[in-house]
Structure 1
């Protein structure tokens, strides 16, 4: 099963990566000449033209693209104009911070949303259900930057319990992870509630109750497992969204992730960093989809058939 899924993953990944590389190259090419951002103000036009020729930017677009793809296939991911070094290490240096923030945010979202969704489903149309629905709407209504600033004011400035910027320890992760996690917890809680209510209305649940199986076993072992697939789908989509960029949260907390790197590369027209960063995010997205597919098969054996 795993080998078959891995084969499908490879067959899907190759054309996706090619299409993404083409789109990114075209978009970066259309942004114009990056040397304007990098040469000194007192440089002459002749100096700029020499730099353009040295980087091969005076070649036609198709020649530049063929050279770009040839370099990728050889494992040469280009040189960063801004950092003066290979672009891949610059991107990979920021990747762990983004993965850590994403994992922390999803843990916060799952810890909040799954119990809240279960309680809301089991106490349908009660004050508990209404409270969970209200909190879910409130979490979507509050902008991330506002939540982050409020957390900084309360836990960083007034109570002085947690650091408010940078990275380097678990304490630095708490505030940005809570900021991002609460934004996704509301939608996930509503989805868990709706999926669990649908599962509890199925015939096999009524049969299990008729057999005298305890309610806790019915909910946690049978109903929740069948209600998990939509939640897994939403969680994977949220992870992909976070990998694509949690720029506002990274900016508020000065978190050194990929989001800030990509925006800085766009401002400086650092084409190699932009291209490699997006390719890395694409690869991570494909891996998340692959893992999600395996989880589907693990949760629901019918999908294996």
Structure 2
């Protein structure tokens, strides 16, 4: 069953990647002439024309796209205008940093949100519940760039507990992970609370309590597992959003990940890097959706993989 589902994933990936490549290619070209960012200020028009011809940018768009797709089918993903080397190694070099930041941010969100959501559900309509709900709304409302700047000022500049930019150690990871994780923690805490309240109303939960099973066992073993499916869904969506949307946070903290690379590539109109980066994010999105389906099956064996 897993292999059949993976085969369907591969079949879906082909048209998705084709459509993504088509959209990104034409959007990048509509952004303007990349040679403006490549040639020095004292270069002549003849120099610019030579550069345009060297990169094949003087050809019609459909010819450039056909050449681009032909090269991809032959394993050639294009050259970076900025670095002058193949774009694929540049993107793959930055990918582990983004995956690490995403995983750390999700860990921060889960550690904060799951206990908070459980406590809020068990203490429904109490001061604790209202406090958790208020903090969840506040965490969602605060923009990531503002949270990042505040964390830098407090924990980086004033207290000097953590470095404020760059990578290379776990200490560099703390502030950007907290910045990304706090926003998602609000959504996840509210969802855990709502799902758990719904499950706690079920007859089998009341039966478990009637049998004298300890509250902790009923909540953690029975109720929480059945309330986990909505949380898994929103978690997978946020992982996808973090992979493609950590641009601002990585830029604020100068984190050497895929997001900051994409920002630089957009600024310099480095088409090959942008296209390959979007390709990689799309592939990761498809894989995350596939793994989410597997996790559904693990949590509830009654669910059939599509």
TM-score, with structure 2 as normaliser: 0.96
Instruction: Tell me which moved more, 76-85 or 257-266.
Output: 257-266
Deviations 1:241-260 (A, max 9, x none): 11112122212211112121
- Displacement, 1:44? 2.4
**Which residue in the other structure is 2:143 paired with?**
143
**Which residue in the other structure is 1:53 paired with?**
53
* Aligned residues of 2:247 and 2:262 also touching (Cα < 8 A): no
For residues 2-81 of structure 1, the aligned pairs below 5 Å read: 2-81=2-81
**Which residue in the other structure is 2:221 paired with?**
221
**Which residue in the other structure is 1:199 paired with?**
199
What SS class does the counterpart of residue 56 from structure 1 fall into?
coil
**Aligned residue pair count:** 305
Runs of 4+ in 1 over 6 A off after TM superposition: none
- Displacement, 1:68? 0.6
Deviations 1:48-82 (A, max 9, x none): 22222222212221111111111111110100011
- Displacement, 1:268? 1.0
- Displacement, 1:108? 0.2
Deviations 1:75-107 (A, max 9, x none): 101000111111011111111111111111000
TM-score, with structure 1 as normaliser: 0.96
- Displacement, 1:207? 2.5
- Displacement, 1:45? 2.1
What SS class does the counterpart of residue 166 from structure 2 fall into?
coil
Deviations 1:93-150 (A, max 9, x none): 1111111111110000000000000011111111111111011011112222222222
Partners in 1 of 2:304 and 2:90 — Cα distance? 40
Instruction: Tell me which moved more, 229-238 or 251-260.
Output: 251-260
- Displacement, 1:229? 0.8
What SS class does the counterpart of residue 32 from structure 1 fall into?
coil
What SS class does the counterpart of residue 83 from structure 1 fall into?
coil
Partners in 1 of 2:296 and 2:209 — Cα distance? 26
- Displacement, 1:239? 0.9
Partners in 2 of 1:245 and 1:234 — Cα distance? 15
**Which residue in the other structure is 1:87 paired with?**
87
- Displacement, 1:206? 2.0
Partners in 2 of 1:150 and 1:29 — Cα distance? 37
> Which structure 2 residue ranges, 5 or more long, are not aligned?
none
Instruction: Tell me which moved more, 6-15 or 182-191.
Output: 6-15
**Which residue in the other structure is 1:258 paired with?**
258
What SS class does the counterpart of residue 273 from structure 1 fall into?
helix
- Displacement, 1:202? 1.4
**Which residue in the other structure is 2:158 paired with?**
158
**Which residue in the other structure is 1:126 paired with?**
126
User: Structure 1 residues 155 and 36, CA, compared in 2 at 3 Å: closer, same or farther?
Assistant: closer
**Which residue in the other structure is 2:103 paired with?**
103
Instruction: Tell me which moved more, 16-25 or 136-145.
Output: 136-145
For residues 221-260 of structure 1, the aligned pairs below 5 Å read: 221-260=221-260
**Which residue in the other structure is 2:167 paired with?**
167
**Which residue in the other structure is 1:177 paired with?**
177
Partners in 2 of 1:225 and 1:266 — Cα distance? 43
> Which structure 1 residue ranges, 5 or more long, are not aligned?
none
C-alpha RMSD of matched pairs (Å)? 1.3
Partners in 2 of 1:39 and 1:172 — Cα distance? 35
